[in-house]
Chains A and B, each alone.
Chain A
Amino acid sequence: MSTLNRLDSIRAIAERKVDEFYADRINAILGPIAPLHARKRALATADLIDDKVDQLAVLTNAAEQDKVVMAIDASRREAKARVRLGATSANVMAIVADLH
Protein backbone atom coordinates (compact mmCIF):
# COMPACT_ATOMS: atom_id res chain seq x y z
CA MET A 1 0.00 0.00 0.00
CA SER A 2 1.39 3.39 -0.95
CA THR A 3 1.06 6.40 1.29
CA LEU A 4 -0.01 9.79 0.07
CA ASN A 5 1.25 12.46 2.41
CA ARG A 6 -1.23 15.29 2.14
CA LEU A 7 0.68 17.48 4.59
CA ASP A 8 4.08 17.19 2.92
CA SER A 9 2.71 17.86 -0.55
CA ILE A 10 0.75 20.89 0.59
CA ARG A 11 3.73 22.21 2.52
CA ALA A 12 5.85 22.27 -0.65
CA ILE A 13 3.17 24.25 -2.49
CA ALA A 14 2.73 26.60 0.46
CA GLU A 15 6.46 27.36 0.67
CA ARG A 16 6.45 28.28 -3.00
CA LYS A 17 3.40 30.50 -2.51
CA VAL A 18 5.04 32.30 0.39
CA ASP A 19 8.09 33.04 -1.76
CA GLU A 20 5.91 34.25 -4.63
CA PHE A 21 3.90 36.51 -2.33
CA TYR A 22 6.96 38.18 -0.83
CA ALA A 23 8.80 38.32 -4.15
CA ASP A 24 5.97 40.44 -5.50
CA ARG A 25 6.24 42.79 -2.52
CA ILE A 26 10.01 43.05 -2.85
CA ASN A 27 9.78 43.69 -6.59
CA ALA A 28 7.25 46.44 -5.91
CA ILE A 29 9.71 48.10 -3.52
CA LEU A 30 12.61 47.79 -5.95
CA GLY A 31 10.51 49.26 -8.74
CA PRO A 32 10.72 48.98 -12.52
CA ILE A 33 14.19 50.59 -12.77
CA ALA A 34 15.89 48.43 -10.14
CA PRO A 35 18.91 47.75 -12.41
CA LEU A 36 19.51 51.50 -12.75
CA HIS A 37 19.33 51.98 -8.98
CA ALA A 38 21.72 49.08 -8.49
CA ARG A 39 24.16 50.61 -10.96
CA LYS A 40 23.99 54.01 -9.23
CA ARG A 41 24.51 52.34 -5.88
CA ALA A 42 27.60 50.55 -7.21
CA LEU A 43 29.02 53.80 -8.55
CA ALA A 44 28.29 55.65 -5.32
CA THR A 45 29.81 52.90 -3.20
CA ALA A 46 32.96 53.01 -5.36
CA ASP A 47 33.08 56.80 -4.96
CA LEU A 48 32.69 57.26 -8.71
CA ILE A 49 29.96 59.93 -8.62
CA ASP A 50 31.40 63.41 -8.95
CA ASP A 51 28.44 65.19 -7.38
CA LYS A 52 28.88 64.39 -3.68
CA VAL A 53 25.36 65.52 -2.81
CA ASP A 54 24.00 63.14 -5.42
CA GLN A 55 26.29 60.39 -4.17
CA LEU A 56 25.03 60.82 -0.60
CA ALA A 57 21.40 60.79 -1.79
CA VAL A 58 21.97 57.57 -3.71
CA LEU A 59 23.56 55.86 -0.72
CA THR A 60 20.88 57.11 1.67
CA ASN A 61 18.07 55.95 -0.56
CA ALA A 62 19.79 52.59 -1.03
CA ALA A 63 20.16 52.11 2.71
CA GLU A 64 16.49 52.94 3.29
CA GLN A 65 15.45 50.53 0.57
CA ASP A 66 17.64 47.83 2.08
CA LYS A 67 15.90 48.25 5.44
CA VAL A 68 12.46 47.82 3.87
CA VAL A 69 13.54 44.82 1.80
CA MET A 70 15.20 43.18 4.81
CA ALA A 71 12.02 43.66 6.84
CA ILE A 72 9.97 42.01 4.10
CA ASP A 73 12.47 39.20 3.86
CA ALA A 74 12.29 38.67 7.61
CA SER A 75 8.52 38.32 7.28
CA ARG A 76 9.03 35.85 4.43
CA ARG A 77 11.37 33.70 6.46
CA GLU A 78 9.04 33.82 9.45
CA ALA A 79 6.08 32.74 7.28
CA LYS A 80 8.09 29.88 5.77
CA ALA A 81 9.14 28.76 9.22
CA ARG A 82 5.47 28.65 10.26
CA VAL A 83 4.64 26.66 7.12
CA ARG A 84 7.37 24.15 7.99
CA LEU A 85 6.01 23.83 11.53
CA GLY A 86 2.34 23.54 10.50
CA ALA A 87 0.94 20.37 12.03
CA THR A 88 -1.91 19.86 9.57
CA SER A 89 -2.63 20.80 5.98
CA ALA A 90 -5.41 23.06 7.28
CA ASN A 91 -2.85 24.94 9.40
CA VAL A 92 -0.58 25.35 6.39
CA MET A 93 -3.39 26.53 4.12
CA ALA A 94 -4.45 29.07 6.76
CA ILE A 95 -0.93 30.53 6.89
CA VAL A 96 -1.00 31.12 3.14
CA ALA A 97 -4.53 32.54 3.30
CA ASP A 98 -3.39 35.00 5.98
CA LEU A 99 -0.75 36.43 3.67
CA HIS A 100 -3.38 38.11 1.51
Chain B
Amino acid sequence: MKMLCCHDSVGRISNVIFEPIPESFVEHYDKIGLLHVMFDNPDNLSALAVASLHYVSVGQITMRPDCPAVVTVEGRAINFADVPADGTVVAVLDKGTEFERRESVSDKSMELDEAGAVHILVDSPWPYLQGVYDVDVE
Protein backbone atom coordinates (compact mmCIF):
# COMPACT_ATOMS: atom_id res chain seq x y z
CA MET B 1 0.00 0.00 0.00
CA LYS B 2 1.35 3.40 -0.96
CA MET B 3 2.37 5.78 1.76
CA LEU B 4 3.37 9.38 2.13
CA CYS B 5 6.61 9.70 4.12
CA CYS B 6 7.40 12.96 5.89
CA HIS B 7 11.09 13.56 6.54
CA ASP B 8 13.63 16.10 7.66
CA SER B 9 16.50 17.66 5.71
CA VAL B 10 18.79 14.66 6.25
CA GLY B 11 16.16 12.17 5.16
CA ARG B 12 15.09 10.93 8.59
CA ILE B 13 11.49 9.76 8.26
CA SER B 14 9.34 11.19 11.03
CA ASN B 15 5.94 9.83 10.14
CA VAL B 16 4.07 8.08 7.38
CA ILE B 17 0.50 8.20 6.14
CA PHE B 18 -1.01 5.28 4.27
CA GLU B 19 -3.37 5.69 1.36
CA PRO B 20 -5.91 7.16 0.99
CA ILE B 21 -4.01 10.39 1.59
CA PRO B 22 -6.20 13.50 1.62
CA GLU B 23 -4.97 16.08 -0.88
CA SER B 24 -5.40 18.70 1.82
CA PHE B 25 -2.66 16.98 3.83
CA VAL B 26 -0.19 17.32 0.99
CA GLU B 27 -1.17 20.92 0.42
CA HIS B 28 -0.78 21.65 4.10
CA TYR B 29 2.65 20.00 4.24
CA ASP B 30 3.74 22.00 1.20
CA LYS B 31 2.46 25.15 2.84
CA ILE B 32 4.34 24.64 6.11
CA GLY B 33 7.46 23.36 4.33
CA LEU B 34 7.33 19.81 5.69
CA LEU B 35 9.34 17.63 3.33
CA HIS B 36 7.58 14.54 2.07
CA VAL B 37 7.84 11.88 -0.59
CA MET B 38 5.44 9.24 -1.90
CA PHE B 39 6.56 5.63 -1.48
CA ASP B 40 5.03 2.75 -3.46
CA ASN B 41 5.92 0.27 -0.69
CA PRO B 42 5.89 -2.80 -2.95
CA ASP B 43 6.68 -5.14 -0.04
CA ASN B 44 3.87 -3.77 2.14
CA LEU B 45 6.24 -2.84 4.92
CA SER B 46 4.87 -1.53 8.18
CA ALA B 47 5.16 2.14 9.04
CA LEU B 48 7.73 1.26 11.69
CA ALA B 49 9.84 -0.76 9.26
CA VAL B 50 9.81 2.01 6.72
CA ALA B 51 10.66 4.74 9.21
CA SER B 52 13.36 2.82 11.09
CA LEU B 53 15.11 0.98 8.26
CA HIS B 54 14.87 3.55 5.48
CA TYR B 55 15.65 7.16 4.78
CA VAL B 56 15.06 9.63 1.99
CA SER B 57 17.99 10.13 -0.34
CA VAL B 58 17.70 12.30 -3.42
CA GLY B 59 13.93 12.19 -3.15
CA GLN B 60 13.78 8.39 -2.98
CA ILE B 61 13.01 6.00 -0.12
CA THR B 62 16.25 4.09 0.33
CA MET B 63 17.48 1.38 2.70
CA ARG B 64 19.73 2.79 5.40
CA PRO B 65 23.22 1.36 4.96
CA ASP B 66 24.51 -1.29 7.33
CA CYS B 67 26.98 -0.27 9.97
CA PRO B 68 30.43 -0.59 8.38
CA ALA B 69 32.21 -1.55 11.59
CA VAL B 70 33.98 -4.89 11.72
CA VAL B 71 34.26 -6.57 15.11
CA THR B 72 36.71 -9.41 15.61
CA VAL B 73 37.88 -11.40 18.61
CA GLU B 74 41.36 -12.62 19.41
CA GLY B 75 41.40 -14.50 22.68
CA ARG B 76 40.16 -12.01 25.24
CA ALA B 77 40.65 -8.99 23.01
CA ILE B 78 37.88 -7.46 20.92
CA ASN B 79 39.00 -5.37 17.96
CA PHE B 80 36.93 -2.68 16.28
CA ALA B 81 37.73 -1.73 12.70
CA ASP B 82 36.05 0.67 10.28
CA VAL B 83 34.04 2.43 12.96
CA PRO B 84 33.05 5.70 11.27
CA ALA B 85 34.36 8.97 12.65
CA ASP B 86 31.97 10.17 15.36
CA GLY B 87 30.74 6.61 15.80
CA THR B 88 30.32 5.29 19.32
CA VAL B 89 30.90 1.79 20.66
CA VAL B 90 29.23 0.34 23.72
CA ALA B 91 29.93 -3.08 25.22
CA VAL B 92 27.00 -4.67 27.04
CA LEU B 93 27.95 -7.30 29.59
CA ASP B 94 25.62 -9.96 30.99
CA LYS B 95 22.84 -8.72 28.74
CA GLY B 96 19.36 -9.57 29.94
CA THR B 97 20.43 -10.41 33.48
CA GLU B 98 20.09 -8.39 36.67
CA PHE B 99 23.79 -7.60 36.25
CA GLU B 100 23.53 -6.05 32.78
CA ARG B 101 25.84 -3.08 32.39
CA ARG B 102 27.02 -0.89 29.53
CA GLU B 103 30.57 0.30 29.09
CA SER B 104 31.65 2.88 26.53
CA VAL B 105 34.63 1.86 24.44
CA SER B 106 36.89 4.57 23.08
CA ASP B 107 39.84 2.52 21.85
CA LYS B 108 40.13 0.38 18.73
CA SER B 109 40.68 -2.65 20.95
CA MET B 110 39.36 -3.75 24.28
CA GLU B 111 40.52 -6.59 26.49
CA LEU B 112 38.40 -8.40 29.05
CA ASP B 113 39.62 -10.01 32.24
CA GLU B 114 37.28 -12.98 31.90
CA ALA B 115 35.84 -15.14 29.17
CA GLY B 116 32.20 -14.74 28.26
CA ALA B 117 29.66 -13.26 25.90
CA VAL B 118 29.72 -9.58 25.01
CA HIS B 119 27.00 -7.68 23.16
CA ILE B 120 28.46 -4.83 21.14
CA LEU B 121 26.49 -1.83 19.88
CA VAL B 122 28.03 0.53 17.34
CA ASP B 123 26.18 3.75 16.64
CA SER B 124 27.40 5.50 13.52
CA PRO B 125 26.40 8.85 12.07
CA TRP B 126 23.17 9.05 10.13
CA PRO B 127 22.04 7.28 7.99
CA TYR B 128 23.90 4.15 9.09
CA LEU B 129 21.93 1.51 10.94
CA GLN B 130 23.05 0.59 14.42
CA GLY B 131 25.58 -2.23 14.33
CA VAL B 132 24.80 -5.11 16.68
CA TYR B 133 27.43 -7.77 17.27
CA ASP B 134 27.43 -10.70 19.66
CA VAL B 135 30.86 -12.09 20.39
CA ASP B 136 32.38 -14.58 22.80
CA VAL B 137 35.79 -13.96 24.29
CA GLU B 138 37.72 -17.01 25.39
Quick one: which of A7, A9, A17, A88 contacts B101, CB cutoff 8 A?
A: A9
Residues of A within 8 A of B99 (CB): 10, 13-14, 89, 93
Count A/B pairs, Cβ under 8 Å.
54
Query: With A and B bound together, what is the CA distance between A46 and B116 in angstroms?
Result: 58
Q: Considering only CB atoms and an 8 Å cut-off, how many residues of chain A contact the other chain?
A: 17
* A53: interface (CB < 8 Å): no
Main secondary structure of the interface of B (DSSP, over half): strand
Using A9-B93, A9-B103 as known contacts, say yes or no to A4 and B113 having CB atoms under 8 A apart.
yes
Give, as a whole number of angstroms, the nearest-CB distance from A89 to chain B.
6
Q: Considering only CB atoms and an 8 Å cut-off, how many residues of chain B contact the other chain?
A: 20
Query: With A and B bound together, what is the CA distance between A13 and B105 in angstroms?
Result: 20
* B98: interface (CB < 8 Å): yes
Residues of B within 8 A of A17 (CB): 98
* A39: interface (CB < 8 Å): no
B116 adjacent to A4 (CB under 8 Å): no
B101 adjacent to A3 (CB under 8 Å): no
* B94: interface (CB < 8 Å): yes
Q: Which residues of A contact B (CB under 8 A)?
A: 1-10, 13-14, 17, 88-89, 93, 96
Q: Which residues of B contact A (CB under 8 A)?
A: 77, 91, 93-94, 97-99, 101, 103, 105-114, 116
A-B contacts, 26 listed (Cβ < 8 Å): A1-B77, A1-B108, A1-B111, A2-B105, A2-B107, A2-B109, A2-B110, A2-B111, A3-B112, A4-B91, A4-B93, A4-B110, A4-B111, A6-B113, A6-B114, A6-B116, A7-B113, A7-B114, A9-B93, A9-B101, A10-B93, A13-B99, A13-B101, A89-B94, A93-B94, A96-B98
